[in-house]
Amino acid sequence: MARIAYFDCPSGAAGDMIMAALVDAGAPFEALRDGLHGLDLGGWELVRHEVRRGAFRATKVDVEIDAAAHQHHRTLGDILAILERSRLPAPVAERACRIFERLAAAEARVHGTTPERVHFHDVGAVDAIVDVTGGALGLHLLGVGSVYVSPLPLGGGFVEGAHGRMPIPGPGTAELLRGFPVVDTGVRFELVTPTGAAILTTLARPAVRPPAMTLAAVGYGAGTRDLPDTPNVLRCFVGEPADAGGATETIVQVETTIDDMSPQLYEPLVDRLFETGALDVFLTPVVMKRSRPGTVLTALCAPDRVGDLSRVLFEESSTIGVRWSEWRRAVLPREMVTLTTTYGPIPFKVSRLEGRVVTVTPEFADVARIAREKSLPVREVLDQARAEGRRLLAGR
């Protein structure tokens, strides 16, 4: 069963703090360091030490870089190529690629360019690559499937960067934080870095309170500076999902966005996705670039069906890219039973919560058939069949 991680960020978040908190929560440092050396990237080393921030003991993880080995800037394409050539587990490389794509998109928007033309500056690029990949690998080593993050503090003041003097949060960080809860804690420093924002807003869902879990570990990741009256630490809570009244399981959400396909092709596409193992499929209308109408196709499936569903999407639709993410869900035990009603035998889907029947749903195809045969309104047959089903089950 995949675990849950909740990042509590009272003092903000940076890439090294995220990685350090995961190590402090139990991700083996040696496995993390050795795994990161699977990157096609030399001239750096990872070191760990214990520090104090205010009253807290915390873990500090630093990326020590040989500046002479990294003299050129890297584009998004350069970084994606490094990740694709790596010896990292596929889910780790995929998560890291998504983080950098989101980071580049945010920087491109605020600077009026394209993600492909964004430059990650020399030594800073190495630091970011290791931090981002280390965060993704740390979650993988801890067996985390679902990630949540608390409201993030904005910070304040000004910072000097590659583009000159900028207000805090920097424009790239502010763009990344759109859609996530933020707070002003009164601290006038940079509290959330672009790398920290990119990791958390790509992998985590916002949560004002921690999700229900059986807590297994708490990790403290230290920031670099000492803040006035505030311990500069990020906390990571790791645990097992709490029982939500039914069995919990990990599913995968497979998505693609399409704006150039005939509507007639969606029906056979959806049919084939179900035949290939999709648990559910739905379409959402969206407005895309240049105000073009488009459709987001979303399919839910078991983790081992991602490749099969992706192949169907490439074969049956006009898409050239598919994305996916893991989700946790709680499901009630259910069964199919056939009950003899006044309309004859009808199959029902029955679900239970702690042994108590909570839903009794007649199969709609059978309800529609009976309504046609008896020249009755479908709604009338549906309501009566459902009521009869509940009564029959209560008498068992």
Domain harbouring 347, CATH code: 3.10.20.300
Say whether both 14 and 46 belong to one domain: yes
Say whether both 277 and 317 belong to one domain: yes
Cα 30 from Cα 131, distance rounded (Å): 15
Say whether both 42 and 168 belong to one domain: yes
Give mean pLDDT, residues 4-12: 96
Say whether both 307 and 234 belong to one domain: no
| pTM of structure | 0.65
Give mean pLDDT, residues 348-362: 88
For residue 223, is pLDDT > 80? yes
Q: What does the pLDDT look like over 19-45, one tens digit per residue?
A: 999 999 999 999 999 999 999 888 899
Say whether both 12 and 158 belong to one domain: yes
Say whether both 44 and 186 belong to one domain: yes
Q: What does the pLDDT look like over 170-192, one tens digit per residue?
A: 999 999 999 899 999 999 999 99
Cα 14 from Cα 191, distance rounded (Å): 8
- Point out the domain boundary residue: 221, 241, 261: 241
Given a contact cutoff of 8 angstroms between Cβ atoms, the answer to whether 324 and 354 are in contact is no
Residues paired with residue 373 on neighbouring β-strands, in sequence order? none
Give mean pLDDT, residues 213-233: 93
Cα 334 from Cα 338, distance rounded (Å): 13
Nearest to 21, CA basis, from 152, 162, 135, 121: 135
> What per-residue confidence (pLDDT) applies to 213?
87
Nearest to 83, CA basis, from 26, 125, 53: 125
For residue 251, what are the domain limits?
247-331
Q: Which of 44-53, 70-79, 326-335 reaches the highest mean pLDDT? A: 44-53
Say whether both 341 and 323 belong to one domain: no
Say whether both 347 and 291 belong to one domain: no
For residue 110, is pLDDT > 60? yes
Give mean pLDDT, residues 116-139: 87
> What per-residue confidence (pLDDT) applies to 212?
82
Say whether both 106 and 178 belong to one domain: yes
- Point out the domain boundary residue: 183, 210, 241: 241
Among 66-80, 184-198, 242-256, 311-325, the range scoring the smallest mean pLDDT is: 242-256
Cα 196 from Cα 130, distance rounded (Å): 12
> What per-residue confidence (pLDDT) applies to 132?
97
- Point out the domain boundary residue: 288, 314, 331: 331
More confident residue, 59 or 120: 59
Cα 261 from Cα 270, distance rounded (Å): 14
Given a contact cutoff of 8 angstroms between Cβ atoms, the answer to whether 65 and 109 are in contact is no
Q: What does the pLDDT look like over 228-264, one tens digit per residue?
A: 888 999 999 999 887 655 666 778 999 999 999 999 9
Query: Each residue of 38-55: b (16+ CB within 10 Å) or e?
Result: bbebeebebebeebebee
Residues paired with residue 120 on neighbouring β-strands, in sequence order? 74
The mean pLDDT value of the chain amounts to 91
Say whether both 254 and 338 belong to one domain: no
For residue 1, is pLDDT > 70? no
Given a contact cutoff of 8 angstroms between Cβ atoms, the answer to whether 25 and 218 are in contact is yes
For residue 317, is pLDDT > 80? yes
Confidence of residue 329 (pLDDT cuts 50, 70, 90): confident
Say whether both 171 and 293 belong to one domain: no
List C-alpha distances in Å: 33 to 84, 157, 223.
18, 35, 19
Measured over the CA atoms of residue 197, residue 199, residue 204 and residue 209, the dihedral's sign is negative
Count up the domains in the chain and report the number.
Answer: 3
Query: Each residue of 290-316: b (16+ CB within 10 Å) or e?
Result: eeeebbebbbbbeeebbeebbebbeeb
Q: Which residue has the tokens 């993030």?
A: 152
Say whether both 36 and 130 belong to one domain: yes
> What per-residue confidence (pLDDT) applies to 326?
83
Give mean pLDDT, residues 1-14: 92
